[in-house]
């Protein structure tokens, strides 16, 4: 079953066409990678499907939480998250002055319901809910390997840890599809390898499909079921890692004329 179905997506900024007729489908349990040079429009694509930008035209359909199909163009970001899409950011956007645990607890917000009244009276239902939030958030932190920094402030984490915290926070929203924007940027080879394992684990253990933007070719080739190549807002190729590796147009666009 397809989770995400993007057809003819186009996005203009004034005169600039940042996305030109993009078509991407992501199926259950799939890992799909988007690659392309800087400025190709990859992040813009993420922003369009997560409701940060309203696309100029095209359709974005999600078979999300609850099993119904929703058209999510122009929906607010929080509504998109409720439908089961969660993302990380290319430039890390954590809540710097909150603790690591609290950052993840925020992710639980849209799956819980305590109100102002509930918070003041703190009835047994609210207490139970809080308890579950703390426990499941801690569980997620263990999963990404941050169990030793639970009560540190997010801003005091190392760079690679911050990236992993962003993933944990996104997982806390209980998504069906996780969107990762350059998760390995700034990581050393060892950290990248751990990230590789983490992504596979998320897919296998949680049954979450993954759409990722990445420049690290080794990571992309080893992880992906399918790769989409973008250049200047256009989708220039799509296929399995082997197909992409042997596609002359991709080699030309991505690696430069010399390799062709």
Partner 1 sequence: MEYFLELLLGGLTRGSIYALIALGYTMVYGIIGLINFAHGEIYMIGAFTALIIASVLTILGFNHLSILVLASLVAVIYSAAYGFTVEKVAYKPLRSAPRLSPLISAIGMSIFLQNYVLLAQTSDFMPFPNLIPDFDFMEPYAHVIGSSELVILLTTAAVMMLLTVLIKFTKIGKAMRATAQDKSMAMLVGVNIDRVISVTFIIGSSLAAIGGILVASHIGQINFYIGFLAGIKAFTAAVLGGIGSIPGAVLGGIVLGCTESFATGYVSSDYEDVFAFTLLVLILIFRPAGILGRSTTEKV
Partner 2 sequence: MKLLTSFKKSFLVSIWFMFLTFPIMVIRVNPIEEIIEWRWWNMLLVGGCSFVLSLLGRYFLEKKELMAKRVADSGVIATTFKKRLFEQRAFAVPILIIISFAAIIFPFIFSTYQTSIMTTALIYVVLGLGLNIVVGLAGLLDLGYVAFYAVGAYSYALLNYHFGMGFWAVLPIGAGLGAVFGLLLGFPVLRLRGDYLAIVTLGFGEIIRLILENWNDFSQGPSGIANISRPSLFGTQLGLEANTVYLYFIMIGFMIFTIFVVNRLQNSRIGRAWIALREDEIACQAMGIDKTRTKLNAFALGATWAGMMGVVFAAKTTFINPASFTFLESAIILSIVVMGGMGSIVGVIVAAFILILLPEYLRAFSDYRMLLFGCIMVVMMVFRPQGIISNVRRTYRYGNNKGQDINHRETEEV
Ligand X SMILES: Nc1ncnc2c1ncn2[C@@H]1O[C@H](COP(=O)(O)OP(=O)(O)O)[C@@H](O)[C@H]1O
- Which residues of this chain interact with partner 1, rule CB under 8 A? 13, 43, 47, 52-53, 89
By the rule CB under 5 A, 73 interacts with Mg ion: no
> Is 113 in a helix, a strand, or coil?
coil
Q: Indicate the residue among 57 and 112 with the shorter CB distance to partner 2.
A: 112
Q: Indicate the residue among 89 and 254 with the shorter CB distance to partner 1.
A: 89
By the rule CB under 5 A, 247 interacts with Mg ion: no
What lies within 8 Å, CB to CB, of 119 at 6+ separation is 126
Q: Indicate the residue among 43 and 126 with the shorter CB distance to ligand X.
A: 43
How far apart, in Å, are the Cα atoms of 86 and each of 61, 89, 120, 128, 203? 15, 10, 30, 25, 14
- Interacting partner of 38 out of partner 1, Mg ion, ligand X, none (Cβ under 5 to 8 A depending on kind): ligand X
The nearest distance, CB 107 to partner 1, in angstroms, is 18
Task: Answer whether 161's CB lies under 8 Å from 149's CB.
Answer: yes
- Residues paired with residue 5 on neighbouring β-strands, in sequence order: 25, 61
What lies within 8 Å, CB to CB, of 253 at 6+ separation is 36, 37, 229, 231, 236
- Interacting partner of 133 out of partner 1, partner 2, ligand X, none (Cβ under 5 to 8 A depending on kind): partner 2
The nearest distance, CB 50 to partner 1, in angstroms, is 9
The nearest distance, CB 206 to Mg ion, in angstroms, is 25
What is the footprint of Mg ion within residues 76-105 (CB under 5 A)? 90
Provide the 10 A C-beta neighbour count for residue 217: 16
The nearest distance, CB 149 to ligand X, in angstroms, is 29
Angle at 257 between CA 230 and CA 259, to 5 degrees: 95
- Interacting partner of 39 out of ligand X, partner 2, partner 1, none (Cβ under 5 to 8 A depending on kind): ligand X
Q: Indicate the residue among 17 and 109 with the shorter CB distance to partner 2.
A: 109
Q: Indicate the residue among 98 and 200 with the shorter CB distance to partner 1.
A: 98
Positions touching ligand X (CB under 6 A) are 13, 16, 18, 36, 38-44
Nearest to 220 by CA among 237, 251, 204, 242: 242
The nearest distance, CB 114 to partner 2, in angstroms, is 4
Cα 239 to its chain centre, rounded Å, is 20
Q: Indicate the residue among 43 and 137 with the shorter CB distance to Mg ion.
A: 43
What lies within 8 Å, CB to CB, of 115 at 6+ separation is none
What lies within 8 Å, CB to CB, of 78 at 6+ separation is 51, 110
The nearest distance, CB 34 to ligand X, in angstroms, is 8
Site residues (vs Mg ion, CB under 5 A): 43, 90
């Amino acid at each position: 079953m397809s989770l995400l179905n993007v057809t003819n997506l186009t996005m203009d900024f004034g005169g600039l066409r940042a996305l030109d007729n993009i078509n991407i489908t992501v199926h259950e349990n799939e890992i799909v990678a988007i690659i392309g040079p800087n400025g190709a429009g990859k992040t813009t694509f993420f922003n369009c499907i997560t409701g940060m930008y309203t696309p100029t035209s095209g359709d974005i359909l999600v078979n999300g939480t609850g099993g119904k199909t929703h058209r999510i163009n122009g929906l607010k970001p929080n509504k998109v998250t409720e439908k089961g899409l969660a993302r990380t950011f290319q430039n890390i956007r954590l809540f710097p002055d909150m603790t690591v645990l609290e950052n993840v607890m925020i992710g639980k917000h849209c799956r819980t319901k305590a109100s102002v009244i509930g918070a003041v009276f703190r009835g047994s239902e609210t207490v139970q809910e809080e308890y579950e939030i703390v426990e499941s958030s801690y569980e997620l932190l263990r999963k990404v390997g941050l169990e030793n920094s639970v009560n540190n402030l997010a801003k005091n984490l190392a760079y690679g840890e911050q990236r992993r915290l962003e993933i944990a926070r996104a997982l806390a929203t209980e998504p069906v599809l996780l969107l990762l924007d350059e998760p390995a940027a700034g990581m050393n080879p060892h950290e990248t390898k751990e990230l590789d394992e983490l992504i596979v684990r998320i897919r296998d253990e949680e049954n979450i499909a993954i759409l990722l933007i990445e420049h690290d070719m080794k990571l992309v080739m080893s992880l992906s079921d399918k790769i989409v190549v973008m250049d200047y807002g256009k989708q220039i190729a799509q296929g399995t890692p082997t197909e992409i590796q042997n596609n002359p147009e991709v080699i030309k666009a991505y690696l430069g004329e010399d390799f062709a």
